[in-house]
Copies of this chain bind each other. A is one copy, B any other.
């Protein structure tokens, strides 16, 4: 390695780093239908179906803090976040592999709790654990999960398929996981200052659960199937809504108009955000880890999804030249920019 040039990873951010490192890789296999750049890779399987492959790595001290994340929840979450990526392709997860690097400071019983959580998630999402690797680590805990799924070729949904005037839809509500994290962080600080004080999490169950035990929205994939709606594009909301909207727009070469007033925010999320002097809309746009699905549907499907309690229409797609804007309550247009989670910049 040359000693002359040193470019800080922080200056590039996570996505910039991945783009730079992978730009010189070519696709040479006929069985690779789609490689890097969506929620999962898309591989040839048979005449009717594709195989989907997605992988995520969770690192202690970066993605989770063992001070307030129980091992069981961590195991569950590590599966759920990968299942969410398969969901975002409109697919069904079937198998996972789990590799962990773990320090000897953890007893076997801690790993058993972790795997209890993994097993619960496997049962809930109907996936088989088919492999993995367990190795020691000189320091923290690292969990790497790969999910393998299947999707009908006629039903696969990429980030790139949104059309102008398509409706922009999000499942569930947003911002809760981020505000839940603020509560946990506050209680950690209180505990560190005085270990005799018990954490005050009363009435915060919903947002804490959203942080500690997120669910992949496989139910939404099932609803869409029932409704006979195939989204034109889709992504899961892992890094904050703003970042995901920008991804969809970039991949689809479109612009978007998003209505502030339409953003689905649970009332507990709002009131707790305000307690922390945080703007709830900022939590939605720039918080992370909601694991909801953001997708676009043709205007023709409006009747099928309007009023559905699991989905909210938050805007529509425009031509790329029209830009990407948030419409605030005064009907002002605010250019949307991503300030989502970026682990290199924390």
Contacts and interface: CB of A to CB of B under 8 A. Distances in A.
B148 A7 contact: no
Interface string A36-74: 100011010111000101111101111100000011000
Given A97-B41, A108-B17, A55 B133 contact: yes
A71 B1 CA distance: 8
Contact of A130 (B21, B24, B32, B62): B32
B134 A25 contact: no
Contacts of A59: 101, 135-138, 142
A222 B292 CA distance: 46
B146 A29 contact: no
B94 A29 contact: yes
A19 B247 CA distance: 41
B54 A51 contact: no
- A interface, how many residues as a size bin? 35 or more
A221 interface: no
Contacts of A41: 95, 97, 130-131
Contacts of A24: 115, 119
A119 to B, nearest CB: 6
Contacts of A112: 20-21
Contacts of A22: 115, 129, 132
Interface in A110-127: 110-113, 115, 119, 122, 126-127
A14 B57 CA distance: 21
Given A29-B128, A129-B22, A5 B109 contact: yes
Given A45-B45, A62-B135, A344-B136, A99 B1 contact: no
A309 interface: no
8 contacts: A25-B122, A26-B128, A41-B97, A43-B94, A53-B95, A59-B136, A97-B146, A136-B344
Cβ-closest 10 pairs across A and B: A41-B130, A144-B144, A46-B46, A7-B108, A139-B139, A6-B107, A61-B138, A35-B130, A57-B99, A146-B146
Interface of A: 1-2, 5-10, 12, 14, 17-18, 20-22, 24-29, 31-32, 34-36, 40-41, 43, 45-47, 51, 53-57, 59-63, 70-71, 94-95, 97, 99-102, 104, 106-113, 115, 119, 122, 126-140, 142, 144, 146, 148, 150, 343-344, 346
